[in-house]
Amino acid sequence: MSNPLLSQFDTAPFSQIKNEHFKPAFLQSIEDARQEIDAITSTKEAPTFENTIEALEFSGQQLDRISSVFFNLNSAETNEEIQKIAQEVSPLLSEFSNDITLNEALFKRVKSIHEQKGGLDLTVEQQTLLDKKYKSFSRNGANLSEEKKTRLREIDATLAKLNLTFGENVLAETNKYQLHLTDEADLDGLPEGEKEAAAQLATSKGKEDGWMITLDYPSYIPFMKYAKNRTLRKELSMAFGSKAFHNDALDNQENVLEITTLRYDRANLLGYKTHAHFVLEERMAETPEKVHSFLKELLDKAKPAAEREFLQLERFAKKLDGIDRLEKWDSSFYSEKLKQKLFDLDDEKLKPYFKLENVINGVFKVAENLFDMHFEEVNDIDKYHEEVKTYKVYDTDKNFISLFYADFHPRAGKRGGAWMTTFKSQWKKNGKNVRPHISNVCNFTPSTKSKPSLLTFNEVTTLFHEFGHGLHGMLGNTTYPSLSGTSVFWDFVELPSQIMENWCYEKEALELFAKHYKTGEIIPMELVQKIKESATFQEGMQTLRQLSFGLLDMSWHGVDPTNITNVKQHEDEAFKNTKLFPDTTETCMSTAFSHIFQGGYSSGYYSYKWAEVLDADAFAYFKENGIFNKEVATKFKDNVLSKGGTENPMVLYKRFRGAEPKVEALLERAGLL
């Protein structure tokens, strides 16, 4: 059978790919990659940087391309068949990865080059690549005995399947829940646009009348924020908070316990105290102790503010509606009401100024002003769904920079949240700079019959955030693909994304795109001022929430988890210093905490806050010189965005900023000083 995935494609041939193509393509490309490895180990030539390290770096490229296409589809446009294939191929990929890192002949060659690196005339990037390749062996079992290597393979194969199952259960639980309402009084408080969207959703789900609310963010969040019916808010909140926590076929409690125990066993096998010790060795934070002291420093600053804000919210709810005890399902509702009262600002006033197409053009314009990038929408690029938009990106001299895919709305086959992915990496070889193919995937409020897609302000900042990751990928300019774009330490990867959010609060940037979708009127300055004033609203509570997630992550991964038998009990213990709302026994966060149990954030959730320190400090530099200052933007592009993981991130940051970041910049911005 002619398999499009095994052809030499540039852009992914989505329309030609059928599900039955994937497994044969994986099997064939794994075999091809094996032969490339064999060619490295069987050569009679003495090991050199070129014939071993570079040859290893550029091996398996077809396999990488197929994997990037397949696993993004499994997140953005999945179905039962794709999920089944994922369960079959994940252990194969894990096994192949182990076959490389546990290949003694290959490791011997890598090790001999690593031992003589001082005498080799290598560039900084080559030294980084050599260190990275050596560590990919030593940190993944190359120095283990045969018996321990076998055990490592077993652990990795099991973990590959467990991580997938965890994510599938969360998606199935999200899709399973539907709140079908037929009495319009139940939607009291919901803005007209949200009601229309709920009616449209009901129709799309085959209901002849009424309104549908689901656990997808664009449906769930507005209901929790605006619906006056407290009983229904509670029902929805409990459904959201109890995903994969029902002691049924989709329950994730055993998966959580098994994943954390296996990660711990794996770390021990490799000579590390815990999974966190293993992970953090390759992070800016370096050790669990540093992470805990960082989280504690922020907790000490944020907790008093959070407690004051909570008390204010509690009193407000009591005065407004006689609520004696504030519950989790009251948080968004009364916070929104209080915000409207304090700042006379709510999303419904802002949304008309944030038509999706305008915001997309706005983020492009910001990138143009800062980094000389030009985006041109094209319709001749193959895509995996009709809703996906495709763009060619050029610099001012019309040189091609990147291909950019954008996929913005929820669908049944799409997991929640927002992310950036790479369909093709950037690298340089034989005098050619191969440019990347980058994608942003989000779940934004869709258009309705009467209105275009109008974004909440939170969705606007999410779009800028993911686009920041996209810039990191698009502007990559390194020699080696494994060091390009977002291939950086995990607690550095959020700097380009989080710094971009800052432009959403600036008058100069908002004037580029925040125009009323009907009248074309630019967002009034008093609204911009209110956005800025409200930016630190409940910042203490928000910070405490983020810290609680970081502490929960470390509580699973920075300890010996083998004696933990009750997921909920363990979670309650981890949350005790950050708890504001009364607990609900029916809910559990861990069972749906995809960031750490399916994504790559295990022992790394703290990095959102860590990167906020970096981004607040970095943006302060822009503010001092002008938010569109070309000199500062060029320094950021040349020292951060284009450099990927070619050097230690702190070295790159100091080259951009002239000094290490200061936590005070974040505390000042958050109003916590």
For residue 582, count other CB atoms closer than 10 A to its CB.
9
Separation between Cα atoms, residue 621 and residue 627, nearest integer Å: 9
Asked about 466 being catalytic, the answer comes back as yes
φ and ψ at residue 60, rounded to 5 degrees: 65, 25
Written as six digits, the tokens of 121 are 């005339």
Separation between Cα atoms, residue 456 and residue 220, nearest integer Å: 13
Catalytic residue (one of 54, 57, 466, 501)? 466
Exposed, middle or buried by CB within 10 Å (0-12, 13-18, 19+), for 516?
A: middle
Separation between Cα atoms, residue 258 and residue 256, nearest integer Å: 6
| Amino acid, res. 79 | N
Q: Which residues of 119-139 are buried (b: 16+ CB within 10 A; e: fewer)?
A: eeebeebbbbbbebbbebbbb
Separation between Cα atoms, residue 413 and residue 400, nearest integer Å: 32
Residues 6+ apart with CB under 8 A from 638: none
Are 218 and 444 in contact by the 8 Å Cβ rule? The answer is yes
φ and ψ at residue 377, rounded to 5 degrees: -70, 135
Written as six digits, the tokens of 453 are 């897609």
Separation between Cα atoms, residue 567 and residue 631, nearest integer Å: 51
The number of CA neighbours under 13 Å toward the Cβ of 334 is 23
Q: Where are the alpha helices (DSSP H) in 142-191?
A: 146-176
Q: How far is CA 555 from the centre of its chain?
A: 21
Distances (CA, A) of 374 to 363, 400, 404, 474, 537: 11, 10, 11, 12, 35
Nearest Cα residue to 111 out of 77, 143, 74, 72: 143
For residue 192, count other CB atoms closer than 10 A to its CB.
12
Kindly write down the DSSP assignment for every residue of 24-35, as one continuous string.
Answer: HHHHHHHHHHHH
Separation between Cα atoms, residue 105 and residue 38, nearest integer Å: 9
Residues 6+ apart with CB under 8 A from 371: 471, 475, 633, 637, 641
Angle at 298 between CA 295 and CA 300, to 5 degrees: 105
Indicate which residues carry an active-site annotation. Answer: 466
